[in-house]
Amino acid sequence: MASSLADWLETHKEALITAAVYELSSREVLRVHVEPPTRAFFDALIVVASGDSDEPLKSLLREWVSRRTRVVDEPTGILPVLGILKRVIWRVYQSQPPVETALAEAIRLDTMMGEAAEFAARLEAMALLEEISHSVVAAQVQPDLSAPDFISVVAHELKTPLTVIEGYASMLKMDLPETVHPRVALMLRGVEVGMLRLRELIQDMIDVSMIEMGLLNLELQPVWLRRLLDIAEAEVAEAVRQRHLTLKIQADTIPVKPTMADPERLLEALLKVLANAIKYTPDGGQITIKGRGLEGFVDITVEDTGIGIAPENLDRIFEKFSAIGDVTRHSSGKIKFKGGGPGLGLVIAKGILEAHGGTIWAESPGFSEETHPGSRFHILIPMREVISSEAATAAAAVETEVEKLPEPPSSAVVQDAGILVEAVVGQPAGSSLDERSETVEVAGESSDTPRAEIPAGAEQNQPPGSDGTAS
C-alpha cells in the first residue's frame, strides 16, 4: 500500500509541482524561486509515503519554520503554505486517482498531510513562544524601559499568535464548508468575532503607546466634518439598533467648509466617544451630536441620557486603563450596557485630538443608575484653512527642489516576494522581481502638529474647577 502511494506521487510529481508553483505565486518571475522548495517538499513526501522515514519531511519543515520572515509587523506562517499544497494534491488526486486502492490511499495521504500540518504547528508555536520570551526578557533587563515601550512590545508580540489562530480558522473554514457543516460554521463565526475583538484591543494598545511616545502620525488632508459624522453614524448603526437607542445628529450646526485633518484618525476619535456613549446609555436612551462655532475651532458635543459620571471621575476617565466599575464586567461585551473594557478608548480619542491641536473634556451632573443624569463630551477640533490649488502647486515645486538635495533615505521599501518566497525561502525579492512596492514611513519621523490654544468661549460650559483639558 505504501509503495502504491509513493508510486502515484512519483508518477504525478511534475504535475503536482507545476500546479503548486502556480498556486503559490501568480508572477512568472517569482516562480523560479518557488519551484526548488516545492520540489523538495514532494521529494520528502514520497520518502514518507514509501514507508522509509518521515525525518526528511520533518527536517524540511524545521528549515521552513526557522527561515520564516516578517513582513512589517505580521509574521508569515507555514500552515497556509501547507494548506495550498494539500489542496493541489487533492485536486490532482481526484482527477487521476489510483485505480484499485483509491480510497485507502486517500485516507493515508490525508493522514500524512495532517501529521505534517500538526508537526509544523508545534514548531511554529515553539518558535513564537521563544520570540515572546526573548522580548519579555529583553524588556526586563532594560532598567530604562518605559511603560509605553513595554506595552508596545507586548502588543506587537500578541499579533504573532493571533495570526496563527487566524490561519487555523481560515483552514478550517476552507475544509469545512457551511453547506456541509452548518454547526461548525456557526462556531467559526464566533471565533472570527473573538479574533476581531482581540485584534482591535491589540491595535488600541499600540495606539496608546504611540501617543505616549509622541509617534502618532497624522496624514493631513481636507476633511468635511459633516461627511465624517455620516460615516460615524453608519459605523455605529448596528450597535444603536441592537440597543434600541436613538442617535440624532444636528447636521445644520456642523460647519460646511472643510478643515485640514487626518480623516481616519479623526473618525477613530469620534467612534471611540460614540462607543462610550452607547455603552453607558441604557436601552431606549438617546445620543445627540451637535456643534457650535468658535474662533478657529468647532466644538462638537456628544450628549447622552446615560448613567452619567461622578465629579471625581471627570478627569480620570481620560487616563489609561482607568475603566470605572466592577472589574468582573470587563470583556463582557463591546456594546453591552455597562459592559466594561480596558479603558483605552477615551485615552486614544484625547491623544488623537491633541495631536490635531484640539482637545476633549466631559461634563456631567453626576452619576446615577436610577435617574440617568447623562453626560456631555466636548470635542474641540481646529478649523484650519484648506490649502488652495495654487499654493499646493507651489509647495509641490519647492518639495521637488528639496528632494534633489542629498539626504539620507527616510523610507524603507517592503516588496511582495510571493507567499513561498517570503514564508519559506526567506530571501527578499530584488527590484527586478517585483513590479509593486509599498513605502513604509520610518517611525520617529512624524511631524507633530502644534497644539493651538483653546479660544475664549470654549471654556464656558466646562464643569467648575476644570480647565477643559482633561488629563
Sorting pLDDT into bands at 50, 70 and 90, what band is 245? very high
Contact criterion met (CB below 8 Å) for 1 and 23: no
Beta pairing, strands 259-261 & 297-304: unpaired
Q: Is 80 exceeded by the pLDDT of residue 347?
A: yes
Residue 152: the pLDDT is 59
CB atoms within 10 A of CB 105: 22
Residue 118: the pLDDT is 82
Average pLDDT of the segment spanning 432-442: 37
Residue 440: the pLDDT is 35
Q: Is 50 exceeded by the pLDDT of residue 439?
A: no
Query: Per residue in 7-36, pLDDT tens?
Result: 899 999 999 999 998 888 777 777 788 889
3-class state of residue 98 by DSSP: coil
Phi-psi region of 145 (alpha: psi -120 to 50; beta: other; left: phi over 0): beta
Average pLDDT of the segment spanning 337-348: 80
Contact criterion met (CB below 8 Å) for 424 and 64: yes
Using a pLDDT cut of 90, give the percent of the chain over it: 33
Residue 182: the pLDDT is 85
Q: pTM of the full predicted structure?
A: 0.52
Mean confidence (pLDDT) of the chain: 76
Query: Per residue in 361-397, pLDDT tens?
Result: 999 999 999 999 999 999 999 999 886 555 555 555 5
Max avg pLDDT among 286-290, 439-443, 463-467 = 286-290
d(CA 304, CA 127): 48
Residue 397: the pLDDT is 55
Task: Please tell me which residue, 321 or 424, carries the higher pLDDT value.
Answer: 321
Name the nearest CA neighbour of 245 among 274, 281, 216: 281
Residue 461: the pLDDT is 44
Residue 402: the pLDDT is 46
Q: What would be the CATH architecture of the domain defined by 221-382?
A: 2-Layer Sandwich (3.30)
d(CA 41, CA 64): 10
Task: Please tell me which residue, 55 or 247, carries the higher pLDDT value.
Answer: 247
d(CA 308, CA 77): 47
Which residues have a Cβ under 8 Å from the Cβ of 60 and sit 6 or more positions away?
Answer: 40, 41, 44
Query: Per residue in 219-237, pLDDT tens?
Result: 999 999 999 999 999 999 9
Residue 140: the pLDDT is 52
Domain boundaries, the chain: 2-212, 221-382
